[in-house]
Amino acid sequence: MTIDQEIRKYPFSEAPGIDIDPVYGLLRSTEPLARVQLPYGEVSWLATRYEDVKTVLTDPRFSRAAAQGKDQPRTREEMTYEGIIGLDPPDHTRLRKLAGKALTARRVNEMREGAQRIANEYVDEMIAKGSPGDLVELFALPYPITVICELLGVPFEDRAQFRIWTEGLTSTSEQLMVYAEQLFGYMGKLVAQRREQPTDDLLGALVKARDEGDRLTEQELLSIAGVGLLLTGVETVSTHIPNFVYALLTNPELMAQLRADRSLVPAAVEELLRMIPLNPAAMFPRYAVEDIELSGITVRAGEPVLVSLPGANRDPEIFDNPETFDFTREQNPHVAFGHGPHHCLGAQLARMELQVALHTVLDRFPELSLADGDAGVSWKSGQLVRGPNKLLVAW
């Protein structure tokens, strides 16, 4: 049976707006381990069932380290240094532990007040400019950049420049390499300053780990601090804020429910995370290091498996009415942040920032609407994440 399976082109179609291609649901029930061919790399398995997805993400017989040097199934031709996501425990543990300490629920909660202040400042400016306005440009982008700047300890006067680099890095700009080089150079300078004058911020802690414990190489240090935290810490939240607000504006009953009961905001964030994939297409294949069975099919040692997080998040075996937004679910064990050793390092920070963002939008815009319907919304395309890059709202 495995030999006869059709090889499907992947990623599947780009569904409009915040939807996902219905083929994920079809595969989950009829072909739980599909064969897929990405634009580059070898043919891969694609798991769409919740239990299989969790197995691939946690079972040590599925390896990220074993993927290094392979012709990995991927959407971009080049294969770059993968950093922390290219490692298995225990090597992975060494890196993860250092950055993880700054991002525990307790540490993140201490940052909530600061995040709220930053969010209010940008909304103040947005309101001062007058309705209508682009929520992405005026709020969803600058807010998480500033939160990360404070976390890393980027001085206030450098933030405007920092924003140019960050936006450059997250766009498809041809200047990408120039920006990346400038940003690396800048981070190198911040690191040097911390060598002379130690600081308590996250960058200071990473420098200390590098210099005293010899637990980080210089490349790891800059890779984690510069590109890692920025790309993963900014692009994600700045994409999901407009995704979430768009979902609420196009589902007015959900907006009304949240306005009526603000204690639902944390649960709403989880449900929005479950339903709206940041990246509908699967990435980072795991390679089987021995033969292992998934949904009755044997994955041979040396074969890659991709997991569909959106597929798992709509599995009816786990979620009642999986295709429906429900802010009152008692259990919501979604895997939007992944699962296992590579579970999103910044998940708690993302949750906090998204909760603060929703509260701020609800507080400050009691009469929010799309200013020009779907004509005022444009969507990113050809990028690693999907969401509006413009969301024109009126209030």
Partner 1 sequence: MTTVDTRWTVTVDRDACIGTGVCAGAAPRQIEIRAGKASALAPETAPDEAVIDAADMCPMSAITVRDAASGALLAPEE
Contact assessment for residue 285 and residue 47, using Cβ atoms and an 8 Å cutoff: no
By CB under 8 A, which span of 112-120, 129-137, 298-306, 338-346 interacts with partner 1?
338-346
Please state, in angstroms and rounded to a whole number, the distance separating the CA atoms of residues 242 and 71. 35
Per rule CB under 8 A, is residue 274 in the interface with partner 1? no
By CB under 8 A, which span of 96-104, 144-152, 202-210, 301-309 interacts with partner 1?
96-104
The single residue listed with the structure tokens 């074969």 is 303
Dihedral (Cα; 220, 221, 222, 228), 10-degree rounding: 70
Determine which residue in the list 4, 16, 77, 90 makes contact with partner 1, applying CB under 8 A.
90
Per rule CB under 8 A, is residue 198 in the interface with partner 1? no
By CB under 8 A, which span of 222-230, 257-265, 339-347, 369-377 interacts with partner 1?
339-347
Per rule CB under 8 A, is residue 360 in the interface with partner 1? no
In the bound complex, what is the minimum distance in angstroms from residue 325's beta carbon to partner 1? 21
Per rule CB under 8 A, is residue 337 in the interface with partner 1? yes
* # residues contacting partner 1 (CB under 8 A): 26
In the bound complex, what is the minimum distance in angstroms from residue 334's beta carbon to partner 1? 10
In the bound complex, what is the minimum distance in angstroms from residue 305's beta carbon to partner 1? 16
Please state, in angstroms and rounded to a whole number, the distance separating the CA atoms of residues 170 and 383. 8
Instruction: Tell me if the bond preceding 316 is cis, omega within 30° of 0.
Output: no
Q: How many CB atoms lie within 10 A of CB 208?
A: 18
Per rule CB under 8 A, is residue 342 in the interface with partner 1? yes
Please state, in angstroms and rounded to a whole number, the distance separating the CA atoms of residues 329 and 334. 11
Here's the x/- map for partner 1, 45-64, by CB under 8 A: it reads as ---------x--xx-x----
Q: Is the dihedral of CA 306, 55, 65, 310 positive or negative?
A: positive
Residues that bind partner 1 (CB under 8 A): 54, 57-58, 60, 89-90, 92-93, 96-97, 100-101, 103-106, 331, 333, 337, 339-343, 347-348
